[in-house]
Amino acid sequence: MTAQIIEGKNFAVALRERVAEHTAYLKQQHNITPGLAVVLVGEDPASEVYVRSKGKQTIEAGMNSYQHKLAVDTSETELLALIDRLNTDPDVHGILVQLPLPDHIDEALVINAIDPAKDVDGFHISNAGLLATGQQAMVPCTPLGCLMMLREYCGNLSGLNALVIGRSNIVGKPMAQLLLRESCTVTVAHSRTRNLPELVGNADIVVAAVGRPLFVEGKWIKPGATVIDVGINRIENSDGTTRLVGDVDFDAAKEIAGAITPVPGGVGPMTIACLLANTVTACCRASALPVPQGLTV
């Protein structure tokens, strides 16, 4: 058996199209344009590329893009003052502070300074608590994208055994909460879990977000399981070149799984698409308008 390849890039294109359609509707019917503000501190090359991509896709969706690029020596006080201004700006519906931040700035303090209603990353402690208690929250983008793809490829998730490998606040923990909301039986594992092969072998759904290249062996996978690989790791080939791989041994796992995401081209493209979806969601909620179906949980 060869697994169905879950092409996240195609799903992301469709999601961005829905975002653009609803953005056009908000403009035409309510004279409202969703606005996303992205804050970048410093000159990290990877972060700069990511921020440019976010800005480009925001504009392509018909939304307003506000980019704030600050020097690496920007003080914590200055950054918090900018966030305060964005919190009170009615044209800004979503705020994202690109991580990582320079060492002299407290990331948790900055994240929790963002208005939870504009926290389109879903990292604010209030949104984490709301999600954990089953209430309306801004949902972190990567787990939201994973859930959308799981719904598409698995249909009804109720009663399935789901294993989340990874316990980060950004992916692992919110992913587990989302799967619980879908009535899955959820296990959270990590790199120190002792019986990991056994847990993987019993899981109908495996979400790997542990940050270790090729960590999950293909032979561990339950035949027919759906595998969502969140990992993105650069490794060196024998000839000195490099390539990107996930946390799962894709070549081996695709021969056993029922469906699997590739790396790259799987989960990655969904993250920015869900960021745009979250911005539209935040805009609708701020304007007391219904959130369009399919953009959030």
Q: Give the separation between CA 197 and CA 229, rounded to whole angstroms.
A: 16
Calpha distance 26→169 (Å, rounded): 32
Kindly give, in sequence order, each residue whose CB lies less than 8 Å from that of residue 51, ignoring residues fewer than 6 positions away: 38, 40, 67, 69, 98
Question: Which residue is associated with the tokens 């344009």?
Answer: 33
Catalytic positions = 54, 98, 121
Preceding omega of 100 cis (within 30 degrees of 0): yes
Query: C-alpha distances in angstroms, 76 versus 66, 84, 102, 114, 239?
Result: 20, 12, 10, 14, 44
Contact by Cβ (8 Å): 285, 27? no
Bridge-based pairing of strands 233-236 and 242-245 is: antiparallel
Nearest residue to 211 via CA among 166, 277, 149: 166
Query: Which of 116-151 are b and which e, b meaning 16 or more Cβ less than 10 Å from the residue's Cβ?
Result: bbbbbbbbbeebbebbeeeeebbbbbbbbbbbbbbe
Strands in 42-103 per DSSP E: 64-70, 94-97
Largest CA distance in the chain: 58
Distance CA 231, CA 225 (A): 18
Q: Tell which residue, 144, 145, 85, has the closest CA to residue 118.
A: 85
